[in-house]
Amino acid sequence: MAVPYGKTSKSKKRKRNSHTRVVLQKPGTCPRCNSPVLSHTICPVCGFYRGKQVMVIKTKEKKKPEEKEEKKEDK
């Protein structure tokens, strides 16, 4: 059985493991809406994947400023 001659130094160990780093994915763009999307995922903005609609995205409607004014006038 092989036995090391001495303790492996921090620098020697770190040089050996230098290629095992984590590489972050860079987002691509959705061809339909040009929003940033990770590869092989559904676009969270438009719901399309590979040119087909896979998911329907519901948007929240904002209240119109006219409705707020009407409530104030009624009081």
pLDDT band at 29 (very low <50, low <70, confident <90, very high): very high
Alpha-carbon distance of 3 to 21, in angstroms, equals 28
pTM: 0.49
- Per-residue buried b or exposed e for 15-28, using 16+ beta carbons within 10 Å of the residue's own CB: eeeeeeeeeeeeee
Convert the pLDDT of each residue in 58-75 to its tens digit. 877 777 776 555 666 665
Convert the pLDDT of each residue in 35-47 to its tens digit. 999 999 999 899 9
Please, which residues bridge with residue 52 across strands?
A: 49
- Of the candidates 16, 40, 14, the one whose C-alpha atom is nearest the C-alpha of residue 27 is 40
CA-based angle 10:14:18, to the nearest 5?
175
